[in-house]
Structure 1
């Protein structure tokens, strides 16, 4: 009895080894002939015939040849070998799946689904048929596609069906459902593609903490995986954790395998460096982004604006203004806010200058706000308010009255409103205070007192107006 037991074990081992060797031989044969077909060697037909002659009954090799032809878009020969594979083994699901993939290339989803259904029928435990079938229907109804995967769960409880469902939802841009499905699976059972999809779905839903958690799990598994380092980098930047963002950026740019970089990588790097107050380095990264082959004008414009912001943060207003003007020239249609931004830069520049240079910067700001009022009627009130202030800066002792016409116009605009908020009243007080003081300097006390009283009508406790009128 013991001898029989050991004999059976030995036979099993021999059988297993023979199967393993056969599988290895098949794999090597497929790899070899695939190279021949893809390289389009001169005697490719003879070599394929030779392989076929030796593998007429080997469905695995026949499907492998068919796939090699499909890869070079020769659907006729791919179909022939799919037929031969099914003839060799009627129950070999990959033969039907190859037929389905050929129909996908031909853009016949209905025919493809029929072949995938046959694959499921002949081998209900093969997950590929289910997933391929579901993929066909994901565009029309991701929910219907996922329901097909439930049949697989019955046949193969060992397979992470929820991960397959998540892929369907992810590829259909249903990120909430993708996240929900992925959350049902032990992450240790997810491959790198699924971990990336899971983290990306959370990132696209702006759940940066969740996305970072998933990405860092991926990094623990595959530290040199560019997708994981990139997502950890992006999420840390969005979470304003700039110290860790720069660590992940270093991992992405210097310690990741086969990483390819885009303008988005460089712009994120620039933002992280900006957050760390490394402005010169940030500018360098933004300029790298600008050097990339970006095919969307709005992105090019935005990068120029970021460069301007970096120069502004570093106190280099000349370059900030230069790149901001370039930004304005790059956008298809500027808004009032866009134009006002240039005025702000001139104001900030003037604040750092002295003498004639300071005055010139204020004059440039004044011109921008004048342009703003001309181009955007809805922004006239803001433009006049800013012109009033800029001109008061150029005339600090108020003797020239440079701000007078703008404060008068602003006061008229606000006074005409039937309803005024606190901001309106605050601006009116500023207008009347300037006009009251200007007329006081001109020794026109009657007009000055008129403005002081207007202030008290808005703010009865205003000390400046009370002192000017001699009220205790």
Structure 2
């Protein structure tokens, strides 16, 4: 859950790039291009005439000048004119890496990653040391085909192992591939050899968190916060890491610091979920429920059913079973067709636990119950409703996995609670079915076997079928020769 659900909150690893490599213009020409560029939108004809004036005489084939003019048009949103000047530059020098870099930038601005990367490859063909071509190729394909990004960056790394920024870019590509271990390794090299900034500490701390190296993640977040005390990502990672390390009081303090500005638009569902966990761990149940509600609301696309599941678990720990059941139903609805048998089983067990909590000996607040009039009929009715729901769910479990004992076993327990005096023998067929499955497994739990056999031994004792009753008590003694209940039953049956 955690690893995939962080995609939208951790950094995108889009590293800023310098302008494609080219010879610099003279300061005089640069100033003139900048001045004329201001007219592109309001006086396009005047701008065109101004640029034509710069390109007269010896500047007619000045590649840096042509590309600077083209870039001015691209910055102004006029890709057609930008391409026209790029083509003029290509005619002047068809082997210039800078020309193909700019053609790639134009294609990328038009969201044509394939054409952009084709031009970046051409730039590399004409200049194998054109770093920016490697980087831009890698970035263009990062979200489309990260493996191509990795391949290109590895070429640069092999050619220039001293180029530390390659490791930054590799971390990005591996991250997008979901390979957090390799992403972390790539950043390891840079963090050890390079000069990391705040952004690097944030990215690295996030990768360490995703790799569950929480202490190291906290250390890096701390270093980053020493450089920029109000960094949103680093404060978030402090809260996450402290929870994972079970430093709950410090984690709640970090959460309060992180949420200091309640109007911050950059809070996401996982932020509220972690704060809910921290409140819960610190015994602040009401505050925890409020944060769970915020997490559910922040999950606008309903892509994270685990929030409802955790909220249900929290209610269960508080013994608020009606709310626990309600939230588990929300969880099941969010799962839709993705529901697994284990989800179904846990839902049935929750109904069973709710029924058990209604039994007089299991009442959560016996003092309050004793002080108030108790409608035992209503309680019994509610308990039977919970048990009926549990039985229905466990029946579906046994149908879906007929070779597994769980559905039968919990259906037996449910029916045993429905028939506490064993007068109807409601649990008998299910304990028999569970026992049949358990006996097939040489490593089956002894306690489960004994529970099944105890019920069946007692059932046959009540039916006065003493020989059949002995069969099950004998089996128990074979498993546990000192079992007091079985020994007592056998003595009574002699």
TM-score (norm 2): 0.71
Deviation at 1:450, TM superposition (A): 4.6
Distance 1:445 1:410 in 2: 18
Give the equivalent residue in structure 1 for 2:295. Answer: 289
Compute the RMSD of aligned alpha carbons: 4.3
Which range moved further: 256-265 or 140-149? 256-265
Match status 1:148 vs 2:156:
yes
Distance 1:117 1:274 in 2: 56
Give the equivalent residue in structure 1 for 2:244. Answer: 238
The counterpart of 1:346, out of the listed 333, 351, 358, is 351
Deviation at 1:245, TM superposition (A): 3.2
* Residue aligned with 1:268, SS: helix
Give the equivalent residue in structure 2 for 1:45. Answer: 44
Question: Structure 2 vs 1, CA of residues 367 and 395 (structure 1 numbering), >3 Å: closer, same or farther?
Answer: closer
| More helix by percentage | 1
Match status 1:386 vs 2:410:
yes
Which range moved further: 227-236 or 127-136? 127-136
Deviation at 1:373, TM superposition (A): 4.3
Deviation at 1:459, TM superposition (A): 3.0
Match status 1:185 vs 2:209:
no
Deviation at 1:167, TM superposition (A): 4.3
Render the CA deviation track for 1:226-254: whole Å, top value 9, x for unaligned. 22222333333333333343333334333
Give the equivalent residue in structure 2 for 1:113. Answer: 120
Distance 1:457 1:119 in 2: 83
Contact 1:162 1:182 in 2 (8 A): yes
Deviation at 1:414, TM superposition (A): 2.0
Distance 2:330 2:263 in 1: 36
The counterpart of 1:225, out of the listed 218, 221, 231, is 231
Render the CA deviation track for 1:22-75: whole Å, top value 9, x for unaligned. 59x849947x957x76xxx5x241564476478667988875664454356532
Contact 1:86 1:92 in 2 (8 A): yes
- Higher Cα Rg: structure 1 or 2? 1
Question: Structure 2 vs 1, CA of residues 66 and 119 (structure 1 numbering), >3 Å: closer, same or farther?
Answer: farther
Distance 1:173 1:387 in 2: 41
Higher RCO (C-alpha 8 Å, min separation 6): 2
Q: Counterparts in 2 of 1:193-342, with a 5 A limit?
A: 193-254=199-260, 260-292=266-298, 294-295=300-301, 297-299=302-304, 301-333=305-337, 334-342=339-347
Where in structure 2 are there 5+ consecutive unaligned residues? 1-23, 361-375
Question: Structure 2 vs 1, CA of residues 63 and 358 (structure 1 numbering), >3 Å: closer, same or farther?
Answer: farther
